[in-house]
Chain A
Amino acid sequence: MKKVLALVLALAMFLSLASFASAEGFSGEVKIWVAEATVDFTKEQVEAFKAAHPEYANMTEVVEPVGEGDAAGKMITDVEAGADIFGFAQDQLARLVAAGALEEVEPGNAEVVKAENDAGSVGAVTLGGTMYAYPMTSDNGYFLYYDKSVVTDPTSLEKILADCEAAGKSFYFEINSGWYQTAFFFGAGCELTFDSNDEGQLVAMNSTYASENGVKALKAMINTAKSPAFVNGSSVSNATNLAAIVDGVWDSTPAKELFGENYAATKLPTVDGFQLGGFGGFKMLGVKPQTDDDKLAACDALAAFLTSEDVQLARYNAVGWGPSNLAAQKSEAVQADVALSALASQLAFCTPQGQYPGEYWSLATALGDDVLADKLDDADDATLLKTLQDFEATCLTYLAK
């Protein structure tokens, strides 16, 4: 009798486990938004994922080419019609969380992500102690590409400008981008960070822009813009007469084509005695909030897969995107890449990425535009200080109330 009972109990447990297992898995549609260059690659990887996880074999994926710049805006406009998994850059994180377009990373996955990816990328996906996205690349920073035959000494910005002027070529730098601008300010020793609370809202600002260092940085910016060789921009394909450009890994192929044998890349130069710094830039995959537990589990698993070490390495081999995964970064192929090495050496001078309010980026553009418009050309130190103080004051108004 007891044996029969035990058998029945075992059978019941086994059956319940089996039904539990068969309740997992998901067979609906998952929409994915990635940059156009990686659409085919992503499709292949999702097929590999489905092959490796039979419970998701009946899932259908729809991969649409929506770039990182557009994805965030579209998700915020209409979360329900947006993608389930989408790629975006770190500056959109705060906006997306505030609009409810990002679901927390599954706690189990979060531990793995923290351990496997570099500190900068982990910081970029974390807001108020919670991780909201899966880090994908750490190559969204910038460094210097230059033409070896024109630029003789790439360690000093003044020399670079002199070389370009002598050769009648141009030096490209996007001064009116809040992203590139920090090269001057952070390099001169200023700080601008925002603290967030548990709900992901930005509640405090730490800024030392309005200081002697800030004025030094602003003056260096103005002097650079004054040079006849200076052109505001950061895209190789749209540049004419290029000899040196501060740009990122995504432009390595056009730069190689343009400079040919004279292609070279290195960390950013020094200016006015200080080393240009900047942001590390990161791209990540986010999962939108779901109303269905199974679908959420599927999306989490897929996103984790697409940002795992093997896939990150494969992505580098396919489209040249520098991985954020520590092991992948140490692989031979990545180490041999000229652009990525330049980025790596520059990263030593970069500030770990935090969160910035969406309005900060347009405020910085405004500051850059003022410099480009020669408005601050003859300003004395006091005026420059006042400009930076106004800048800080406006940033303060962006904090959550």
Chain B
Amino acid sequence: MTDLDYLKLSKPAKMAHDLGSGIAAIPGRIVKGFKGLGLWFAKVFRGLGASIADLVTTFKDGDWKTRLSYLVMGFGSCARGQWGRGILFFLFQTVFNLYMFFPNASLSGCYYLGKLSTLGTVETYKEGRRTVYGDNSFFILLYGVLTLFFILAFIYTWRLNVKQNKISEQILKSGHKLKTTKEDLSSLMDEQFHKTLLALPVLGVTVFTILPIIFMILVAFTNFDATHQPPSKLFTWVGWDNFRQLLSTDTAAYGGTFKQVLLWTLIWAFFATFLNYFLGMLVAIMINKKGIKLKKVWRTILVMTIAIPQFVSLLYVSKMFAQDGLINTYFMKWGWIKSPIPFWTQAGWARFTVILINVWIGIPYLMLIATGILMNIPADLYESARIDGANAFQMYKKITLPYMLFVTGPYLLTSFTGNINNFNVIFLLSQGKPQSLELAGNAGYTDLLITWLYKMTVNDTNYKLAAVMGILVFVVLAVINLVAYNLIPSVKNEEDFQ
């Protein structure tokens, strides 16, 4: 289609065309993405090769200080007067060696690495009446991964050490002076300031987020569940079995349930995000309208509900909607209904109630955001539109809505992602119930993937399936994010303000 033809299309047709071409472009983009990934891998490999080549040349061309640094990290830096760096390198090497070859063999890094492939072979046995615990598969896996991390960090630091030697040599050869320790420290506050600021956060995230996530991804390939609980029992690698179990569709297997829960999660996220968004915007527009007094009062009343902790308000509200709760009792008293509405016991009602209560929670928040953005829209846009004879709805469609969507596009995406993982609302309101014979594994009709994951972890201690589910949630979210990022620019082009 040529540009002229495109411009001749009506507005809806234009949008349809853009959406269609956006979606049609996705396979192409995915292929491009894979190609990019492949190129990136190639680059990494080439980089690795270059690194190794560099190592060899540095050794050949370096002087004796450099060569000795290959064995004793930090030697070169110390020998050239950079004591601070040298001692740090040496300390790191010592700590690493100590950890890997700890005298008490059952605590050393090598021990855990060795057992990593089998995840423990010595079973727990009883001597008389007392129990003697054998291998602990959990700790083998955990410390094994930690050791691998440590080894990677060591290789990186060792490489850094060699590179620094090479650079120092070159600096000295060209006649300049090397940085003293004092200059190093002061540069930490200046050029290297980012290292100072990021050191602790990165360490925290690595140990408390990355390590556990990698651990759980690995658990998805083991049989760690209620019957294989360390320390009394061992668990071991089972490959792709867990994925097969979760995705297969025999009766009592989880495949069908998984699809249902996934579908409901997506529907829930969609409604939770967009219903709140548009209703919140509507409320903000209503309050913001010229002629409405006490704007601050209305806003404050609504905003107060954000502050109250959810566990208080949601627990109370969930009891309000019970079969013998306030709402049913008063509706029956006023004669509006004859028998109690099964808010929590029927699947359809439960889903509706959950979405409804989520609207109650979400509108104040969205109203706040919308108000902030609305106040930024220049008022003369509206004035000129009114002079041109536009009515309220047309002004909304052509001015307010495009502006809002433009500014909050990324926010909508994060909100959608957040709602897929919105544990609090579902857990406190309905605990995922009602359950049914049609749903396996303790899942209920209002269960999101994440609440199902929680139940599996805490109630059933079925960690392997929980891990698999976590990975699948991640895959779903990653796909959605990728798709959205590709679609948003093409929708953005529709935003013409005037």
Contacts and interface: CB of A to CB of B under 8 A. Distances in A.
Interface of A: 73, 76-77, 79-80, 95, 98-101, 103, 106, 170, 176, 228, 231-233, 239-241, 289-293, 296-297, 358-359, 362-363, 365-367, 369-370, 372-375, 387, 390-391, 393-394, 397, 400
Interface string B444-484: 10000000000000111100000000000000000000000
Given A231-B323, A291-B132, A372-B342, A397 B252 contact: yes
Given A367-B437, A374-B346, A170 B324 contact: yes
A79 B329 CA distance: 46
Interface stretch (B95-103, B228-236, B301-309, B400-408): B228-236
Contacts of B435: 176, 362, 365-366, 369
B285 to A, nearest CB: 39
Contact of B229 (A79, A367, A370): A79
28 contacts: A73-B459, A79-B232, A95-B226, A98-B226, A99-B233, A100-B229, A103-B129, A103-B131, A170-B324, A233-B323, A233-B324, A239-B324, A290-B130, A290-B131, A292-B130, A293-B128, A293-B130, A358-B460, A362-B442, A365-B435, A366-B436, A366-B437, A369-B433, A373-B436, A375-B436, A387-B437, A394-B440, A400-B227
B132 A232 contact: no
B130 A76 contact: no
B458 A291 contact: no
A151 B444 CA distance: 36
Given A290-B130, A291-B130, A291-B132, A373 B434 contact: yes
A77 B436 contact: no
Nearest to A242: B324
B251 A373 contact: no
Contact of A373 (B229, B347, B458): B347
* B124, B227, B340, B347: residue with the most chain A Cβ atoms closer than 10 Å: B227
Contacts of A77: 458, 461
A240 B329 contact: yes
Interface string B220-260: 00000011010111000000000000000001100000000
B133 interface: yes
A106 B129 contact: yes
B216 interface: no
Contact of B130 (A95, A101, A296, A363): A296
B93 interface: no
Contacts of B124: 100
A9 B417 CA distance: 82
Nearest to B127: A293
Contacts of B442: 359, 362
B229 A73 contact: no
A98 B458 contact: no
Given A98-B226, A99-B227, A369-B435, A393 B232 contact: no
B345 A296 contact: no
Contacts of A241: 324
B405 to A, nearest CB: 39
A369 to B, nearest CB: 4
B420 interface: no
B339 interface: yes
B346 A358 contact: no
A251 B323 CA distance: 21
Given A79-B232, A101-B232, 7 more contacts: A79-B231, A231-B323, A240-B324, A362-B435, A366-B437, A369-B444, A372-B342
A168 to B, nearest CB: 10
Interface string B407-439: 000000000000000000000000001111111
A363 B444 CA distance: 11
B345 A373 contact: yes
A239 B324 CA distance: 7
Contacts of A365: 435
Given A98-B226, A241-B324, A290-B130, A391 B346 contact: no
A295 B345 CA distance: 48
A44 B436 CA distance: 45
Contact of B251 (A73, A176, A390): A390
* B251, B346, B435: residue with the most chain A Cβ atoms closer than 10 Å: B435
Contacts of A387: 437
Identify the 5 closest CB pairs spanning chains A and B, nearest first: A100-B232, A289-B131, A369-B434, A99-B229, A366-B435
A377 B131 CA distance: 53
Contacts of A292: 130
A228 B282 CA distance: 40
B126 to A, nearest CB: 8
Contact of B232 (A289, A362, A369): A289
Contact of B437 (A103, A170, A363): A363
Nearest to B347: A373
* B128, B130, B233, B339: residue with the most chain A Cβ atoms closer than 10 Å: B130
Nearest to B348: A373
A375 B345 CA distance: 11
Contacts of B433: 369
A224 to B, nearest CB: 14
Contacts of B438: 366, 370
B233 A100 contact: yes
A369 B345 contact: yes
A41 to B, nearest CB: 29
Nearest to A168: B332
Contacts of A233: 323-324
B436 A370 contact: yes
A372 B345 contact: yes
* A170, A366, A390: residue with the most chain B Cβ atoms closer than 10 Å: A366
A73 B458 contact: yes
Contacts of A103: 129, 131
B153 to A, nearest CB: 29
A369 B435 CA distance: 6
Interface string B79-102: 000000000000000000000000
A350 B428 CA distance: 35
A147 to B, nearest CB: 16
A397 to B, nearest CB: 4
Contact of B434 (A98, A372, A393): A372
* A98, A176, A293, A297: residue with the most chain B Cβ atoms closer than 10 Å: A98
Interface string B312-338: 000000000001100001000000001
A299 to B, nearest CB: 11
A301 B86 CA distance: 61
A366 B324 CA distance: 21
Contacts of B461: 73, 76-77, 99
A170 B232 CA distance: 48
Contact of A391 (B131, B324, B437, B459): B437
A110 to B, nearest CB: 12
A107 to B, nearest CB: 9
A241 B440 CA distance: 35
A103 B132 CA distance: 13
B232 A373 contact: no
A228 B339 contact: yes
Given A73-B458, A366-B437, A369-B436, A291 B131 contact: yes
Contacts of B324: 170, 231, 233, 239-241
Contact of B226 (A76, A293, A367, A373): A76
